[in-house]
């Protein structure tokens, strides 16, 4: 069973290995693959409005954050980032995290959610976001230098809440 709860400060030591492994792979997030633990904490926790974790049998198997996408007149739109442990993929955890984030975003007063940089090569994520109601509203050609595929497009994806 998957339990999704707000992350505590003590959780970051368990979140970090998930972030580190995904960021080091360099194939889904536009983040320096050599990001430090403290830089990752700033990105995933400090800059976020709220961070959540997914637990299974007492182990953190996924995480997401919600943050305001842009200040001022754009503050009604949030942005989220999601990571699921490679060992826990294929169990519907990413879908559960995204559905949970939409509920939490509504509770926080956001009226829409926008993903600013979804790699076209991340086909599983693109399919999932479409299935969960997101539209691809823009394409940035050759936006990301993928370590295996070379230059790949990135999508801007959007959903009203």
Q: What is the pLDDT of residues 103-159, one digit of tens each?
A: 999 999 999 999 999 999 999 999 999 999 999 999 999 999 999 999 999 999 999
Report whether 26 contacts 20 (CB < 8 A).
Answer: no
E strand or H helix at 54: strand 50-56
Relative orientation angle of helices 123-131 and 93-107, to the nearest 10 degrees: 50
Instruction: Report residue 63 as tokens.
Output: 């995480």
Within 8 A by CB and 6+ apart from 140, the residues are 117, 153, 154, 155, 156
* pLDDT for residue 23: 95
Alpha carbon distance 118, 111 (integer Å): 20
* pLDDT for residue 116: 97
> 24 pLDDT exceeds 90?
yes
DSSP annotation of 50 reads: E
Q: Which of 100, 66, 97 is nearest to 84 (CA)?
A: 97
Report whether 51 contacts 44 (CB < 8 A).
Answer: yes
Report whether 69 contacts 78 (CB < 8 A).
Answer: yes
Q: Are strands 150-160 and 112-119 parallel, antiparallel or unpaired?
A: antiparallel
> Beta partners for 64?
52, 82
Q: Which of 113, 99, 96 is nearest to 157 (CA)?
A: 113
> 88 pLDDT exceeds 90?
no
Domain boundaries, the chain: 2-160
* pLDDT for residue 83: 96
Alpha carbon distance 72, 63 (integer Å): 27
* pLDDT for residue 87: 86
> 89 pLDDT exceeds 90?
no
Which pLDDT tens digit goes with each residue over 45-76? Answer: 988 899 999 999 989 999 999 999 999 999 99
The CATH architecture one would assign to domain 2-160 is 3-Layer(aba) Sandwich (3.40)
């Amino acid at each position: 069973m998957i339990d999704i709860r707000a992350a505590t400060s003590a959780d970051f030591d368990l979140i970090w290995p998930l972030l580190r492994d995904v960021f080091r792979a360099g194939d889904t997030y536009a983040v320096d693959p050599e990001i430090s633990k403290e830089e990752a904490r700033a990105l995933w926790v400090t800059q976020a409005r709220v961070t959540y974790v997914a637990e299974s049998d007492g182990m953190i198997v996924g995480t997401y954050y919600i943050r305001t996408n842009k200040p001022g007149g754009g503050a009604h739109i949030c942005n989220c980032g999601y990571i699921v442990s490679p060992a826990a993929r294929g169990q519907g955890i990413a879908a559960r995290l995204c559905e949970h984030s939409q509920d939490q975003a509504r509770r926080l007063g956001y009226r829409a959610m926008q993903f600013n940089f979804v790699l076209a090569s991340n086909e599983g994520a693109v399919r999932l976001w479409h299935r969960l109601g997101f539209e691809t509203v823009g394409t940035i050609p050759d936006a990301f230098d993928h370590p295996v595929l070379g230059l790949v497009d990135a999508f801007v994806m959007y959903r009203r809440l």
